[in-house]
Structure 1
Amino acid sequence: MIASQTHLRAAVLTILSSLAPQAAAATPNCHCYLTDGSSPEYFANHKFFDFRNIANPQVPPPIDDRDGSTNAPVANAYFDSTNFTDTWSIQSWVDAGAVYNTYSKNDVYIESNTDANPASSTYLTLRTYRHPAGDFQSSAEIQSISPNYQYLSMRMYSRTLGAAGAVAAMFTYRGGATDADVQEADLEILTSDPSNLVHYTNQPSTVDGITRPNATHEITIPGPWTSWRTHRYDWTPGTSSWYVDGELVNANSFQAPADPATILFNAWSDGGSWSGAMAEGQSAQMQIQWIEIIYNNTAEPSQYGHCANVCSFDSGTEPGVPLLVSSGP
């Protein structure tokens, strides 16, 4: 381990060990944010999207018409609010794969939480559905409108349910002139897999038909993805690290992303060899209670003078609520 990493980890332990319980009594004025984990870093910005109590939840019926599904309006007024549109765009595009697949706003919706002991009133659902009429699949994707996220800690509290033949994913993406130029870091859940297996990849995994075996790892996680879990991706200089419920499950420095990228969440199927084919009339859903993004400017406070108050989202008890861990003059 290089000296700067050793110094940073020591600083993190010192700061976190000095926390006072009363520090969380009020929301602090945070100048930067410190993450925990195997590669702790300082970040400049934070966004939190809470889907746990959204008005007028409703599961929209599938639209069994290709054009109607592609051109559908948003399924909830929340998706027209600036809280959502300032960061996200719901995608509506077509992928003519083994099965015709259209991304539809109709498959992005707010659903009531009917769990036996619900931890929320509602949640966000991204659905992919194999239409029995029209011979097509509809899928769901939200993408950040900004392509300028460079280094981050991204988390979602989610579960994935439904039929085999779907992929549920959280990832960063930067396109390129060729496949070899793409920079992408994926968390992918395949509903045909065992419910504790997750694929973590620094793309591209294949270039010109040649597989890059170091790009992707298939990891058995501590508990099934069919249950509510906090999935986390940390992108730090030279490394991609993935966590489940705070536990590091995979880290990969092979072709880790380096340049600014967009952020995406999706649930999809195209009948191809990766997703598999879904049976007609069946669906799968990625359900998300909240999304948190801590991003940009990884540096220690001494390296940029505007960070007098350092906060943490990993030391508090509520998601999205920062805890002051160090304050300057």
Structure 2
Amino acid sequence: MVATHFQVWSLMLASVSFLAPKSASAQNCHCYLTNGTAPQYLTNTRFFDFRNIANPRVPAAINNRTLAQNAGVTHAYFNSTNFTDTWGISARPDDNGLVYNVWSKNDVYIASNTDSNAGSKTYLDLRTYRHPAANGNFQSSAELESASAAYQYVSMRMYARTRGSSGGVTAMFTYRGGSTADLVQEADLEVLTRDATNIIHYTNQPTIKGGVVQTNGTKKVTTTPAVWSAWQNHRYDWSAGSSNWYLNGKNVATIQYQTPVDPVSLLFNSWSDGGSWSGIMASGQSAEMQIQWIQLIYNNTEEPSRYNHCANVCSFDKGTLPGVAKVITSGP
């Protein structure tokens, strides 16, 4: 159904009237055109703004595996429909690593931005914390996972930074599970806190086929002068046959090998399990992914376009403010 709309839209674009971009409310936009290496038309958008949320609070760590797993949300915002219509917070054990890990709602919270000349009052914080041996000897971690697993092409964006101790991983990614590792479909942006702050990993998973690592499935990118410990615009675009990652609007990685094909879930997380990828975090230490805003521009097989064709094409890339679209073309 969505594909049919795209066919109509592509035919109409040749005849639309080109206008100087102007601000657009969501109801004035019939579809969204991304820019970059692989531009595409997408039908829906959602913007999550964490920059000015009342009553921020950093929760104390819960030094008990069971209590950490069963903890409630840390802020009323996480019970709001604005959040729950799109996201869930993971709460489950993960004992596959060297260090027992628990995904906990207690490690997802709204924190005050205490930066000098701060660009926001608050931000979303996803924390992973190594509980000392005297307090359970485990890791607790944070994850947002989309309520829908039916995203079919997406531009995921966040304004974020990673802070904290060595031994953590922070990530923005898409995921579709499979009955075997070979059938998993996953595309990752990952920061390893044991790396230099100008190294980011971009990967289409799985990267191992027949026991052999496929080097064309992953890229370890040096991002100088940008560093992941400072606020940066991170973006992942999934289009047919291609994964493209951008940093501050610049394409830094393109991978066609193992690009996702089927509908996926969207995730953001911070974690550690003591394995070879994350490394071991020192006792009593933590790492955090701090996010001022998240934007999704997407197709979803459960959420088809409300329009028969795309008369008004909008762009967030030509806008001057996060989450504010511009009408770039208009037609009948």
**TM-score, reference length from structure 1:** 0.91
Contact 2:16 2:330 (8 Å CA) reproduced? no
CA distance in 2, matches of 1:36, 1:210: 35
Aligned to 2:310: 307
CA distance in 2, matches of 1:72, 1:260: 30
Aligned to 2:57: 58
Shift of 1:297: 7.5
How many percent identity over aligned positions? 60
Aligned to 2:110: 110
Query: 1:139-150 maps to which residues of 2 (within 5 A)?
Result: 139-150=141-152
Q: What letter matches 2:125 in structure 1?
A: T
CA distance in 2, matches of 1:198, 1:15: 40
CA distance in 2, matches of 1:199, 1:250: 9
**For this pair of structures, how many residues does the alignment match?**
312
Q: What letter matches 1:255 in structure 2?
A: Q
Say if 2:46 is the partner of 1:47. yes
CA distance in 1, matches of 2:195, 2:36: 28
Say if 2:83 is the partner of 1:84. yes
Shift of 1:60: 0.3
Provide structure 1 residue ranges, at least 5 long, that are not aligned to the other structure. 1-7, 299-303
CA distance in 1, matches of 2:41, 2:180: 33
Shift of 1:26: 6.0
Indicate the SS of the match to 1:276: coil
CA distance in 2, matches of 1:15, 1:225: 41
Q: What letter matches 1:117 in structure 2?
A: N
Q: Provide, for residues 157-212 of structure 1, a one-character-per-residue CA deviation record: whole Å limited to 9, x for no partner.
A: 00000000000000000011110000000000000001010110000022453312
Aligned to 1:100: 100
Contact 2:52 2:120 (8 Å CA) reproduced? yes
Specify whether residues 15 and 245 from structure 1 end up closer, same or farther in structure 2 by C-alpha distance, changes over 3 A only: farther
Contact 1:59 1:109 (8 Å CA) reproduced? yes
Provide structure 2 residue ranges, at least 5 long, that are not aligned to the other structure. 1-9, 302-306
CA distance in 1, matches of 2:50, 2:221: 28
Q: What letter matches 1:273 in structure 2?
A: S
**TM-score, reference length from structure 2:** 0.90
CA distance in 2, matches of 1:135, 1:20: 59
Q: CA RMSD in A?
A: 2.0
Query: 1:148-163 maps to which residues of 2 (within 5 A)?
Result: 148-163=150-165
Please identify, of 233-242 and 25-34, the stretch whose mean Cα deviation from structure 2 is larger.
Answer: 25-34
Say if 2:124 is the partner of 1:121. no
Q: Provide, for residues 39-86 of structure 1, a one-character-per-residue CA deviation record: whole Å limited to 9, x for no partner.
A: 111001111111111111000010111111111110000000000000
CA distance in 1, matches of 2:16, 2:63: 55
Aligned to 2:249: 246
Say if 2:227 is the partner of 1:227. no
Specify whether residues 19 and 52 from structure 1 end up closer, same or farther in structure 2 by C-alpha distance, changes over 3 A only: farther
Aligned to 2:69: 70
Query: 1:276-291 maps to which residues of 2 (within 5 A)?
Result: 276-291=279-294
Aligned to 1:4: none
Indicate the SS of the match to 1:20: strand
Aligned to 1:257: 260
Aligned to 1:131: 131
Specify whether residues 317 and 45 from structure 1 end up closer, same or farther in structure 2 by C-alpha distance, changes over 3 A only: same
Aligned to 2:190: 188
Shift of 1:28: 6.0
Shift of 1:27: 6.1
Contact 1:104 1:140 (8 Å CA) reproduced? yes
CA distance in 1, matches of 2:166, 2:79: 32
Query: 1:181-220 maps to which residues of 2 (within 5 A)?
Result: 181-207=183-209, 209-220=211-222
Aligned to 1:179: 181
Shift of 1:20: 2.7
Say if 2:269 is the partner of 1:266. yes
